[in-house]
Structure 1
Amino acid sequence: MNNKYNTIQYEYSSGRFYKARDHAERAIRIIENLVPPEHLLLASAKRVKALILEEIALDTPAGQDLSEARLLEESEALHRAALTLSTRAFGENNVQTAKHYGNLGRLYQSMQKFQDAETMHLKAIAIKEALLGSEDYEVGLSIGHLASLYNYHMNMHAAAETLYFRSISISLKLFGERYSGLEYDYRGLVHVFTSLKRHDRAEFYNRLLHHWHELREQSKAEQQPSIGDEQVPPLDELKAQFFSPTAD
């Protein structure tokens, strides 16, 4: 089963969504034959398939037989089933349950059900904060998702601004100024301040975003030694190391 999930992850990350869907469906069938119908393994498998279907829906040209709406509805049913299984196993106040609420929140954004999306994100944040505290990584993720909803879909730019600041604060505290997730928050703030016609602030976060890119490039350079920098031992030392007789 681990090999099956590894295959799904590879196909998904490679953009081969239809192959990933086929593997996910096969995994679900295998699990259904091995465990009771309310087993948590099914929640994970259904969540994975739901995420894949959402990607296919957003990538499907209009007018095809597999319409975006039908795929998103199937994804919703799978996310709902996974949420039900998680709630039965762990209860409402559990991080895994909160993650399922967050998945539904992002799906409803794709379905343009923005009030439902807000409800799901708020539930995810409330559960995570109660269990993990206000400055946990998981809380920051959910805050960022809600900020995106307010910013790009609900024109609630002032609320989005506050949430982006919270998300950035958590990221900087936990991971530092080179953290990959900061890109989305900085871009979000550029959009917020452009929409509010506060162009000086938008330019400030544009510059901060550019600085972030420079830091990321520095990180890549630091992780890869330049040609000629490697310390190669002299040939005599290599011979002594690999070809000297071993003592009995």
Structure 2
Amino acid sequence: YLRAIAIDEKSLPPDHPDLARHLNNLAGLYDSQGRYEEAEPLFLRAIAIDEKSLPPDHPSLATDLNNLANLYYSQGRYEEAEPLYLRAIAIVEKSLPPDHPYLATHLHNLANLYYSQGRYEEAEPLYLRAIAIVEKSLPPDHPYLATHLHNLAGLYKSQGRYEEAEPLYLRAIKIAIKSLGENHPNTQIFLQNYRRMLDKS
């Protein structure tokens, strides 16, 4: 990643979208390692380049905004994350078809933010909308659908709505076993959370 960035900085204009993409990729690496202080300025620089070099409703800008929002979310910086998620959603709603998987991802991420804050009434319709989009746009056994179903089930579990949560957990588990395998970490998480709900209920 560093080498790619160095090549871009020598051979391309300073506001070229390829440089933004490579900066974003390196930031994503640092984010996944918990190296947040190193990731943040790279995400910010990528967004600044996007804003100069791309149309204001370009999906790549939405992706970079979403990635910075995810970084803030990971740090508990919810007030900084929320407007970035909302802006990413607004861009994607303008620039992509209404049932595009990217929109589902952004809606789901904002729902996770609200869920983490206990804003359940705001989170639920976002989860439901994301699920509806994924059901239209991706295969019926896609792992993304399993994740969306699992997180909505978690929301219902947090509210004590066990009868609504259970079929979502079961459907998520079935999809995950089929698409990822029984030993995949996501499948195991889904199973553990379902069992925990059964213990509570």
1:24 maps onto 2:29 in alignment: no
Q: Which residue of 2 aligns with 1:54?
A: 73
1:107-118 counterparts in 2 under 5 A? 107-118=113-124
In structure 1, how many angstroms separate the alpha carbons of the residues matched to 2:172 and 2:67?
26
Deviation at 1:133, TM superposition (A): 4.7
TM-score (norm 1): 0.69
The aligned amino acid for 1:55 is: S
1:77-92 aligned at under 5 Å gives the runs: 77-92=83-98
- RMSD across aligned C-alpha pairs, in angstroms? 1.5
Aligned to 1:182: 187
Q: How many residue pairs align between the two structures?
A: 182
Aligned to 1:97: 103
Provide structure 2 residue ranges, at least 5 long, that are not aligned to the other structure.
1-18
Q: Structure 1: which 5+ runs fail to align?
A: 58-70, 197-248
Counterpart selection for 1:122 from 117, 128, 132 = 128
Indicate whether 1:158 and 2:163 are aligned: yes
Of 32, 57, 73, the residue aligned with 1:13 is 32
| Per-residue CA distance 1:34-79 (angstroms, 9 max, x = gap) | 122222221011000100011112xxxxxxxxxxxxx312211111
TM-score (norm 2): 0.85
The answer (yes or no) to whether the contact 1:79–1:103 under 8 Å persists in 2 is yes
- Give per-residue Cα distances to partners, 1:89-111, cap 9 Å, x unaligned: 11322111111111111111122
* Cα drift, residue 22 of structure 1: 1.7
CA contact (8 A) 1:18 1:56 kept: no
